[in-house]
């Protein structure tokens, strides 16, 4: 690993802004390998040096991955002049590392949303070519039936001519359903169900690949992904 500047390392870890980091270093609160850091420009190997802030070890990671239980009423965007976004729900430190949502959930859709600053990862998760299945729980105005299930399996053509890849549909005992899709077209699940005369009244994403929404996360709650969870995202069906 090539050496990097101490202030860059701390900034990529989301410790504080570059300006605040320089102040932290000047005031002697940052140490490198046991000695107070000399300057923000000092170069070090981020994976070998022991960097501490106020005596607490800072674990270097260039990329960060979180899961959020997106609440209704919030946009899947980084910022918006007028409306609240998912980035308004996270900590100031997390906002500093350039997180963005992986794909979009509609404003009224809830559930699993991944936040990361890793563009390549996000691209792979979203691309239908990766064949990563996203599972949604939907409530509809009327329960889906066998004909709907077959139509989903064969690949729907929406009203505007948009062709959908084959998708899974399962009726649940309470009349709601599970939808499994590998692509993320605009309002995809809602449009698919509407095209069958079953408009969606509630939509929640439950999983992406092998990554399941943590049931302990309240709406608006978030947490870092574990290493094994991160790997599970890419799991194909």
CB of 160 to ligand URA, least distance (A): 14
Closer residue to ligand URA (CB): 97 or 167? 167
Binding residues vs ligand URA (CB under 6 A): 105-106, 109, 187-190, 203
CB of 105 to ligand URA, least distance (A): 4
Catalytic one of 7, 33, 88, 106:
106
Closer residue to ligand URA (CB): 137 or 190? 190
Closer residue to ligand URA (CB): 53 or 189? 189
CB of 193 to ligand URA, least distance (A): 8
- 106 catalytic? Reply is yes
Q: Following DSSP, what letter does each residue of the chain receive, concatenated?
A: ---EEHHHHHHHTTSS-HHHHHHHHHTT-EEETTEE---TT-EE-TTTS-EEETTEEPPP-S--EEEEEEPTT-BSSS--SSS-BGGGGS-HHHHTTT-EESS---TT-EEEEEEES-HHHHHHHH-GGG---EEEEEEESS---HHHHHHHHH--B-TTS-B----EEEE-TTS-EEEEES---TTHHHHHHHHTT--EEEEEEEEETTEEPPTTPPTT-EEEPPHHHHHHHT---
Active site residues: 106
């Amino acid at each position: 690993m090539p050496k990097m500047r101490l202030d860059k390392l701390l900034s990529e870890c989301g410790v504080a802004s570059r300006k605040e980091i320089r102040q932290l270093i000047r005031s002697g609160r940052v140490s490198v390998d046991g000695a107070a850091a000399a300057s923000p420009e000092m170069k070090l190997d981020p994976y070998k040096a022991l960097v501490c802030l106020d005596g607490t070890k800072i674990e270097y990671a260039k990329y960060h991955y979180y899961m959020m239980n997106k609440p209704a009423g919030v946009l899947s965007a980084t910022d918006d002049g007028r409306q609240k976004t998912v980035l308004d729900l996270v900590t100031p430190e997390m906002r500093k590392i350039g997180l963005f949502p992986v794909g979009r959930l509609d404003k009224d859709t809830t559930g699993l949303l991944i936040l990361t600053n890793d563009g390549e990862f996000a691209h792979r998760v979203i691309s239908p070519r990766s064949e990563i299945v996203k599972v949604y729980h939907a409530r509809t105005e009327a329960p889906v039936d066998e004909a709907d299930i077959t139509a989903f399996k064969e690949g729907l053509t929406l009203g505007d001519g948009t062709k959908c890849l084959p998708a899974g549909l399962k009726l649940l005992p309470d009349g709601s359903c599970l939808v499994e899709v590998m692509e993320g077209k605009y309002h995809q699940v809602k449009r698919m169900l509407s095209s069958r005369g079953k408009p969606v009244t509630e939509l929640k994403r439950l999983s992406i690949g092998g990554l399941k929404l943590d049931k302990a996360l309240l709406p608006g709650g978030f947490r870092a992904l574990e290493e094994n969870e991160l790997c599970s995202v890419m799991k194909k069906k």
